[in-house]
Structures are given as C-alpha cells and as structure tokens.
Chain A
Amino acid sequence: MTAETKRLLTTSKAISEAIAQEMERDASVFAMGEDIGTYGGIFGATEGLLAKFGPERVMDTPISETGFIGAATGAAIAGMRPIVELMFVDFFGVAMDQIYNHMAKIHYESGGNVKVPVVLTTAIGGGYSDGAQHSQTLYGLFAHLPGMKIVVPSTPYDAKGLMISAIRDDNPVLYMFHKGVMGLGWMTPNPRATGHVPEEPYTIPIGKADVKRPGKDVTIVTLSLMVHRALDAAEDLAREGIDAEVIDLRSVIPLDREAIIESVKKTHRLLVVDEDYRSFGLTGEVITSVIEGAFDHLDVPPARLAYPDVPIPYSRPLEQFCLPNRETIAAAARQLVG
C-alpha cells in the first residue's frame, strides 16, 4: 500500500466511525452510557455521534448502571441493538447481576428462543498510575462466565472491523478497549495506536486470532496493549537473531485455540503475555489449550508473564514493577529459546 492510499485513524476514531456507519445502516442501533454524548465518551469511542444522530439515539445516562445496562438487555430482547458503554471495566461490579445473570444467560435459559444483541463497551488497562479501581483488565473474569463473547482489539483496523461484527452479532459482546491503544492525546504517545483504516465498512470475525508478526523460534500469544509491547520486544529479539511470532488473540471468547496450536507446532516454544491477573485466567487457559492440543510439539515447558495476583498499586515504581514490558517479555522469550 502506498502512503497516499493510507487513511490514518486512531483506534478511538476507528471505533466511533464503526458505530456511526452501523447506526446509519440499521435504525435499531443506538448508544447509551455515561458521558457518551456531549463529551463523546471519556475515551473518545463515541466522539461525534451525538452531533450526527441526536440525543434520541445517543443517550447520556444517569449514574444508574444496573438500570441502564439492564435496560440495554431489555431493549435488545425487544428488537433493538443497543451499544452500552460503562467507562471503566472496574465499575462493572455495581451492575454485575444484570451482566452475568441476565445479559449473558437469557439466550441459554430460553433454549435459544430469545436473542440478546447488546454490545457492552468499556475501557481497560493501566500503566498510567490510576490506582486499584481504574486500571484492571478483567477479561479473564468475564471470560469465565459463559454466554458473552469478548473482543479486545489492539489496532485501529481490528477495532473497526470487530466493532461492526459485534454490532451485527446476535449475542451479547463485551467490547474492551485498552486506554493505551486508543491513541488519545492525553495518554503517553503510542505510534501503534494510529494506523490505516479503510473508510468503507468491513467486518473481522469474532474468535479469529491474527499473526501480527510471523516468526519461527518462539510463539508469543497476547492481546490488547501487550501486543504492542510484544512487537517491541520482538524487534529487540530480532536484533539478537531470535525470530518471535506474535499472535494477537483479538477475541477472548471464542478463543482461537487452533491458531495458537498451529503456531506452537511451528515454533515449539510458547510464551503467553497478559496484563490481567496471573492466576485462574487467560494465561492458564492458553497454556492448557496447548498442553491438550500440541504437547508433543513443545520443546520446553511453556512460560507466562502476567500481572501478579495483587490489586493494582498507584505509585509508579510499584505499578511498573508489576506490569509486563518490552524488556521482561524479551527476557522471557530469550530464556525459552536459550
């Protein structure tokens, strides 16, 4: 692709563009949440939508999360396709019952007769000293609860295609964007948060991982902002002659186990990198899938780097100690190869 044909967008612009295009295409799509109207969403995911579609289709809500998240489920069952945002995933506790006992279970409880096409959007992740209640990722927690699909894009291109797929999906989809991949002007600059996004609508299948960097020596499975960190680490490793393959899961549910196993069959080494808490979560699930599906192909025991099992501390040196980063990812990969 030549530079002239590139259409560069940040991830947040890619998401709001996807929502706008679906709202134009389908009158049953509407958006609601806290500060999504005039403010455009604290992380910009709904920027410009109020001006385009008006307050009937882009609704600022009171701070009544059980109410409006539950209402999204009710409206979806009644034939609408709501997109409902709750700013930070850390806040989901206040509306948990509506999410995991209702949104996620009604289709199953109805024996498949009732559909709940809600897209529940939220920001995840830390690294900027926002403390224990504003920095978690928590997709492992929601992935444990059957009935919701979960997408966690890392690039503007994926973000748009996955949002369109999520809106068109007949199931509840939890759409989680890391604050660090949004390309926001007030976060630490991240060149990987801006990229080519075609103007015309397109979909990316939910449940399909993407090889963000092909390699033959070690497979690094990760997602969200950690994809960026892993790609940085892979550049360092390449200079040492280690060729790392970086797999971006993009979806947690369904998990693309085939893509992971395929890669491990080629590299024979597995490192899983995750910003979510270490125990009982994504890293364990990925490693188990490989043990079950490609055990004989592993040359060395699989390794994982994740957030230690502690709440997220505020102070910078404490938080940075806990987070996987370029150096620790490269070191872990080196050890597997070495």
Chain B
Amino acid sequence: MPSNDTLRAMHRQMVRIRLFEETIQQSYFEGKLPAFDIAAGPVPGEMHLAAGQEPVAAGVCAHLRPSDTVTATHRPHHVALAHGMDMRRMAAEIFGKDTGLGHGKGGHMHLFDPATNFGCSGIIAEGMPGAVGAALAARKQGRDDIAVSFFGEGAANQGAFHESLNLAAVWKLGVVFVCEDNDWAISVPKAKSTAIASNADRAAAYGMPGVLIPDNDPVAVYEAAGEAVARARRGGGPSLIEVKTQRLLGHFEGDPQLYRTAEEMERLKATDALHIFERRLVDTGVLSEADAAEAWAAARAEVDDAIGFARTSPYPQPSDALLHVFA
C-alpha cells in the first residue's frame, strides 16, 4: 500500500493532468466554432486527450526518476506530465511556439524532452521499440535506469508490440510495458479486434510476467508497477501490465462518437476514477476536504501559468522550418 504522502502526491498528479487537459480542450475549440475547422484557432491539428486515464500515468510514473526513459503515444499528455515534463514548455509546444520543447516543430503528438528522457509517436505501437533501445543502452552504460513504454490496447495487435516484447524478454532488458486498455481504438472496440480478453495473457508467450489491473484504480496500478519497476531495475527483465482504463472523451476532439451509446457515456461519467479516488482519500482521512480543494487550486494556478506562458510566447520565424533537419 502506498504511503499517505504518495497517495496525496498521486492525487495531485491526477488533478493537474485533468486540469491541464481541460484547459487545452478549451483552447482547442477557440476559433474553431461554430463550424468546426480543424486548421483554425490557437491549437490547430488533431487533439487526443486522456481524461479517464490519469490513474495509469500517476500510478506508474510515481516509481520513476527523470533518468528513466518513457515512451508514449498520440495521447501523451498525462504520461508526460506524470513523468515530470515541464508544463510550460509542453504547453508552448502544443501552441506551436518557439519556447516549446521542439520550437513548435513537433506539436502535441511529438513531445520530446531530453530532461526527462521522454518521447512519443503518432504511429501506433511504434514508440515501443525505442523503449527497448533505451533499456539496452542503460545496460550497456552500466546504469540501473529503466524504460517504460505506454501504449493502447489497439497497439497490441501491431507487429511492433510483439517484436518489442520478444526482444526485451530475450535480452532480459529493464522495460515495463504498460497497456492502457480504454476499450476503444478510435471506433473499434477491443472485442472486435482482439480474440482474447486480456492482453496481459500475451506476456506468457514472450516469457515475462503479465498483470491485469481490472478497474482503473491508481493504487492497484501503483502496486503492480512498483513490482515491475523494481524487477526491471535489478536486472530481472521486462514485465507487461494491462490496465482497464477509460476514455472519457472522443478519440480526438471533434469526434462525433456515433459508435458509442448514451448509456456508456453516462456510465463513464459516473465512474470517473479521479473523482472516485478523491472521494476515497477524503473518506479514509488521507485527504481533508481542504487538502483536496487546495490540490485543485494549486493545479489551477500551475496550469494557468503554463497556458499563459504558451499564449504569450512568440511563434518561431517561418523560415525556421528549414532548421534542425540535421545535427
């Protein structure tokens, strides 16, 4: 069981992620309505938000240090923040500003941060081999740093998933594979894409432990991740963790979601893990109502500062597009 301090820290983490993304969502729709135009507004392009998946990021990243590598997907914000990415520079990148992590070259699906060894990819499952490589480098360099690869359940049907698991296992590398099963790959439910119920079962095929967390509970994620991270750090090889989590929003912002029922959306709202977790911490006396309110207020201030920084930062010079092709 995590300590009360850890529980409070995980709560704060989940709150700041949720508020950051809600604020990005508001910014995203600025200038795009009434007739939605994906190219318009201060945050153009596609936007994939992770509301509902905070428990996975908070529970896993609580065990990591900045020298551990983390790779994520097209839906990267929750993981990036939980792993310690600077919120200001992250927001600035999402707004396409020169002060952003990649000077506006990457955007929200391409956040790269050497300070926290974080990277992500918009190509499904293709962040996974990079995590294997980071763990390989750590071993060659005599470091006990590990690598964590986050991916969706949809990605578990892509070749790169299978190749990465086998490589990590056969070379006994310190990788933790974290499958965020939100049941949907855009409009395709898991039952239509995957012949078995649990991707954790696939771990056995590669010779590594596989753990299923059935209920989006940050404490259960924390405990399973603790074991997997410790094992990876002491040279015990990779693990696979699958968390049944929730996608509270559309696949991308503007997704009409005609493929989901009203009942499902209602059920999701009622089982929002952030609110359940907060209630539980208050009910068990880990968090006072005042502590909870303070966590939201502190997050609000941090997020407002970061978004303000992003908004007021300058755009890169147009001809900067030609820079950074080669080192």
Contacts and interface: CB of A to CB of B under 8 A. Distances in A.
Interface of A: 34-35, 37-39, 42, 60-66, 90-91, 93-94, 127-134, 185-189, 308-311, 313-322
27 contacts: A63-B124, A63-B154, A63-B155, A63-B158, A63-B185, A64-B157, A93-B123, A127-B39, A129-B44, A129-B107, A131-B106, A133-B121, A134-B46, A134-B122, A186-B36, A187-B38, A188-B39, A310-B321, A313-B104, A313-B321, A314-B105, A315-B100, A315-B103, A315-B104, A317-B315, A318-B96, A318-B320
Given A39-B187, A62-B157, A131 B107 contact: yes
A290 to B, nearest CB: 28
Contact of B110 (A132, A189, A316): A132
Interface of B: 35-40, 44-46, 96-97, 100, 102-110, 121-126, 154-155, 157-160, 185-188, 192-194, 254, 258-259, 315-322, 325
A314 B109 CA distance: 10
A121 to B, nearest CB: 17
Contact of B186 (A42, A90, A91, A187): A42
Given A62-B157, A63-B154, A63-B185, A315 B36 contact: no
A185 B104 contact: no
Given A185-B35, A314-B104, 14 more contacts: A34-B188, A37-B187, A39-B187, A39-B258, A61-B188, A63-B125, A94-B160, A129-B45, A129-B96, A130-B107, A133-B122, A187-B37, A311-B325, A315-B100
Given A185-B35, A188-B37, A35 B187 contact: yes
A141 to B, nearest CB: 16
B159 A315 contact: no
B193 A62 contact: yes
Contact of B254 (A63, A186, A310, A320): A186
Nearest to A87: B186
A65 B124 CA distance: 10
Contacts of A133: 109-110, 121-123
A94 B123 contact: yes
Given A131-B107, A134-B46, A185-B36, A64 B158 contact: yes
B91 to A, nearest CB: 14
Contacts of B105: 132, 311, 313-315, 318
B303 to A, nearest CB: 21
Contacts of B193: 60-63
Contacts of A316: 44, 96, 315
B310 to A, nearest CB: 12
B35 to A, nearest CB: 7
Contacts of A134: 45-46, 109, 122
A131 B109 CA distance: 8
Contacts of A314: 45, 96, 102, 104-108, 110
B298 to A, nearest CB: 30
Contacts of B186: 34-35, 39, 42
A323 to B, nearest CB: 10
Contacts of A128: 38-39, 44-45
A308 B126 CA distance: 26
A338 to B, nearest CB: 25
Contacts of B46: 130, 134
Nearest to B96: A315
A200 to B, nearest CB: 30
A322 B321 contact: yes
A189 B187 CA distance: 25
Contacts of B121: 133
Contacts of B316: 315, 317-318
A132 B106 contact: yes
Smallest CB-CB A-B distances: 10 pairs? A314-B107, A315-B104, A315-B96, A321-B318, A128-B39, A129-B44, A62-B193, A129-B45, A39-B187, A62-B157
B178 to A, nearest CB: 17
B170 to A, nearest CB: 21
A76 B318 CA distance: 47
A98 to B, nearest CB: 11
B45 A309 contact: no
Contacts of A91: 123-124
Nearest to B42: A316
A133 to B, nearest CB: 4
A132 B96 CA distance: 13
A93 B160 CA distance: 12
B135 to A, nearest CB: 22
Contacts of A39: 186-187, 258-259
B40 to A, nearest CB: 7
Contacts of B125: 63, 94
Given A62-B154, A315-B315, A188 B110 contact: no
Nearest to B44: A129
A124 to B, nearest CB: 15
A129 B318 contact: no
Contacts of B37: 186-189
A308 B324 CA distance: 13
A127 B159 CA distance: 30
B123 to A, nearest CB: 6
Contacts of A63: 124-125, 154-155, 157-158, 185, 193
Contacts of A189: 35, 37
A185 B155 CA distance: 29
B322 A308 contact: yes
Contacts of B254: 186
